[in-house]
Structure 1
Amino acid sequence: MKKNLRKWSALALCLMLIMLVMAGCGGGKETETSKESEGKIGSDYEITVICMALNSDYWHMVEAGAKLAGEELGISVDVIGPNAESDSAAQINMVEDACNSGSDAIVLAPNEPTSLVSAAKTVKSNDIPLVVIDAMLDTDDESLYSCFIGTGNEEAGAEGGKFIASQLQEGDKVAIIRGLNGQVHHDQRTDGAQAAMEEAGLKVVSVQPADSDRGKAVNVAENMLQSDGDIKAFYATNDDMALGALQAVKSLGLTDVVIVGFDGTFNAMDSIEDGELTASIAQQPIEEGYQGVVNAVNILNGETVEKHQTLEAVVLTKENVTDFRVNVEDLIEKSGVKLN
């Protein structure tokens, strides 16, 4: 009797998955990574989600999405990450530990796309499906991962650049504060914004890294402003750095400086609602974490998934931030994840 119930439960789970995620799934073709041959059913799956870090609201939103998917699908989801996005060594160790601990699939947001290629090879050698989210691995070997889910960073950066151009006059000076040198997603966010601003006739006078750290961004922005007091806007490739730039602007007693961040974190939304931070290019981190887990389960069930899945970004301003926030808060509450 129990055996029959397990069969019916597995069938019900498969039907639910098909209804939830029609997009990006193939026709149920068996793949080499399917765990069915090992005797596991959906409710037995253990998925490890490894974020770039767990030190910001953004990554806790990814965590929330992953846990929502786990709850809906009735599977075990463990979300972990280093203390800082710059700690690729810790992230590599986490990937190796996940392989050794028996994870059925790994969802990874690589914090250093070149260094984490070796970790991806370890995952492949253990015949474990790897779903990459948020940032691509720096490799041409697509066999290392089953699919990628994330924002088109260059296109989203361009939206930030266009928004800044809409707030300024042709010839105005702008500066860019970016994440760690060598992180591809920060390269793309920078390139997209810079190209859009220059095309609109703005002058990008400085591009400096602050390693996604608010404190470093305060110092970088202060140095930029002391070198050139005519800077009219800052674009930062994450919200923590944008808030650092805001702190620097306020400490110097400046007004009317446009400051745009990237990610759509709660701290950024607070600041936008208060009329301080001008805007943030909001990704969909909850959806990213959710789809990462859903796609991992689809792969384990022997289904074919779309290789590259792009999530759209939204320019958050004082006009639309409240409605956006209400939706995000509802999902966070359902997940039970606590923000910083």
Structure 2
Amino acid sequence: MSILRISTGVVSGTMIKSAAAGLVLLGTAFAVTGQASADEVIVGLVTKTEVNPFFVKMRQAAEEEAKAKGVKLIARAGKFDGDNEGQVTAIEDLISAGAKGILVTPNNSTGMLGIIKKARDAGVLVIALDTATDPADAVDATFATDNFEAGVQQGTYARKALGDKKPVLAMLDGTPGGTVDTFRHNGYLKGFGLAEGDPAIAGSAITNGAQDKGQVGMENLLSKNGDINAVYTINEPAAAGGYAALKSFGKEADVVLTSIDGGCAGVRDVKAGKIAATVMQFPYKMAAMGVDAVVDYAASGKKPSGFVNTGSFLITDKPIAGIESKDTEWGLKNCWGD
């Protein structure tokens, strides 16, 4: 399989038709014109960003599964977490290119509804990966972590790890408008045993799931309240930023910092004691299942439906009685389902 990486420009229909059957197009700012040939199956993948390791792994899985199934993958992404407009444009291009199915991780769970309907009305199978739409039945199916339950796992562990200490909680949230952010945030609070607005919540910061914003957000929260002893994080990049801030304040040993992702880097941070526990999810499985579903749809016309939970596990080297978990040795062998 050949791989063509393009950052800007236009890929003509002639170029697409003359490329090898296994061609994968990767990029963030190009248009795809022309139609697929009658016998080729195009699978589109539209992720939130190209740089977040979670979505890098998802794209890798889609590339490998597409190659194994003999179909063409066109992978696109938003320019940043929250780039709803960029994702809409990407799906427009994939419809024009003749994609049989599109796998999408929506930046905004309601902002994609119009373009998703347009794709489905054109006969394109649309599957949400990782992030559900709102309403959930706006897509044909969703293959994802149960993000509310993952949040519950994180919060339950954090509260018990805190022991008898009175909680002073900081929350490093992701990007407003996405179901992942909402479900994980609310799940954590349920697991921790707090309601939204509880005075035990010292404050929150929007990180967009990025390390630099996680660090700045945590620094700001610590400047306002130095008694913080528990930190929720939307993902492991935000947790890495949060840890850097805690360390700069000399607080890294006094705070229960937890996360969700289960990437190899995050598991290593758990092993090193930077993160007390993380909840592993499986983006590789999500993407591979998505490609397989599009291939099946192209062959039989059969569509998947509903929500498919791709699973999650709590990873920690400091297990707590009554909470099911795996250690980092297991985590490093299974990170992100590779």
Q: Does the TM-score normalized on the shorter chain lie above 0.5?
A: yes
Residues in 2 aligned to 1:195 and 1:146: alpha-carbon distance in whole angstroms:
29
Is 1:90 aligned to residue 89 of structure 2? Answer: no
* Alignment correspondent of 2:16: none
User: How is 1:261-280 mapped onto 2 (pairs within 5 angstroms)?
Assistant: 261-280=259-278
Residues in 1 aligned to 2:201 and 2:120: alpha-carbon distance in whole angstroms:
42
How much does 1:179 deviate? 0.6
1:31-66 deviations in Å (ceiling 9; x for gaps): xxxxxxx9956xx31101111111111001111221
* Alignment correspondent of 1:211: 208
* Alignment correspondent of 1:299: 297
8 Å contact kept, 1:172–1:202: no
How much does 1:125 deviate? 2.9
How much does 1:207 deviate? 2.7
TM-score (norm 2): 0.80
User: How is 1:45-56 mapped onto 2 (pairs within 5 angstroms)?
Assistant: 45-56=41-52
8 Å contact kept, 1:135–1:185: yes
1:155-188 deviations in Å (ceiling 9; x for gaps): 1100000010121124221211101122221011
Quote the sequence identity (%): 20
Residues in 1 aligned to 2:191 and 2:279: alpha-carbon distance in whole angstroms:
14
Is 1:184 aligned to residue 179 of structure 2? Answer: yes
| Structure 2 unaligned regions, length at least 5 | 1-35, 318-325
TM-score (norm 1): 0.79
Moved over 6 A (4+): none
User: How is 1:319-330 mapped onto 2 (pairs within 5 angstroms)?
Assistant: 320-328=327-335
1:71-110 deviations in Å (ceiling 9; x for gaps): 3322222222123112111111101011111112111111
| Structure 1 unaligned regions, length at least 5 | 1-37, 332-340
* Alignment correspondent of 1:112: 108
Residues in 2 aligned to 1:276 and 1:147: alpha-carbon distance in whole angstroms:
36
* Alignment correspondent of 2:70: 74
**3-state SS in 2 of match to 1:231:** coil
Residues in 1 aligned to 2:64 and 2:241: alpha-carbon distance in whole angstroms:
31
How much does 1:266 deviate? 2.8
**3-state SS in 1 of match to 2:127:** strand
Residues in 2 aligned to 1:90 and 1:247: alpha-carbon distance in whole angstroms:
31
8 Å contact kept, 1:95–1:119: yes
Question: Judging changes above 3 Å, is the alpha-carbon distance between structure 1 residues 126 and 73 closer, same or farther for their aligned structure 2 residues?
Answer: same
Question: Judging changes above 3 Å, is the alpha-carbon distance between structure 1 residues 54 and 219 closer, same or farther for their aligned structure 2 residues?
Answer: same
How much does 1:199 deviate? 5.2
Kindly report the root-mean-square deviation, in angstroms, between the aligned alpha carbons of the 2 structures.
2.3
8 Å contact kept, 1:198–1:204: no
8 Å contact kept, 1:298–1:305: no
* Alignment correspondent of 1:5: none
Is 1:127 aligned to residue 123 of structure 2? Answer: yes
User: How is 1:147-226 mapped onto 2 (pairs within 5 angstroms)?
Assistant: 147-170=141-164, 171-198=166-193, 203-226=200-223
Between structures 1 and 2, the one with greater helix share:
1
* Alignment correspondent of 2:231: 234
Residues in 2 aligned to 1:330 and 1:212: alpha-carbon distance in whole angstroms:
21
Question: What number of residue pairs does the alignment pair up?
Answer: 290
* Alignment correspondent of 1:31: none
